[in-house]
Amino acid sequence: MTNLEALTAISPFSVNPLLFEKTLEDRGINANGLYNSELASEIEVCAALIARVVYYQPDTSEGSLSVRYDRGAIREFANKIFRKNKMFDNLIIKNKIQFI
């Protein structure tokens, strides 16, 4: 399994696959490298960082198709990982406007 596949497996939402790859590369992880348990914590952080991006994206509608995320669940998912890794500056704070 690659690092990209590991990240995709633990991410509870669907986003542009390039966002997964970019997040890994930004954290210094080779997306196509072989996953090992030493990277588990870093892969989790990548999932939380992607959750942060999803949290701040607007809901979208196109015709009869609507994409809406449960922001409370996303915030819980990301903040649990950020707290576990002592990344308190990355916590998602409800109703705080964030420009990305």
pLDDT in tens, 28-45: 999 999 999 999 999 999
Collect all residues with Cβ–Cβ distance below 8 Å to 93 and sequence separation of at least 6.
none
Is residue 75 within 8 Å of residue 88, measured between CB atoms? no
Residue 3 confidence (pLDDT) above 60: yes
Pull the structure tokens for residue 98: 């964030």
Q: Cα dist. 11→27, 30, 95, 96, 99 in Å?
A: 16, 18, 23, 23, 22
Mean pLDDT of 89-99: 74
CA–CA dist 36, 55 (Å, integer): 28
Pull the structure tokens for residue 20: 């997964």
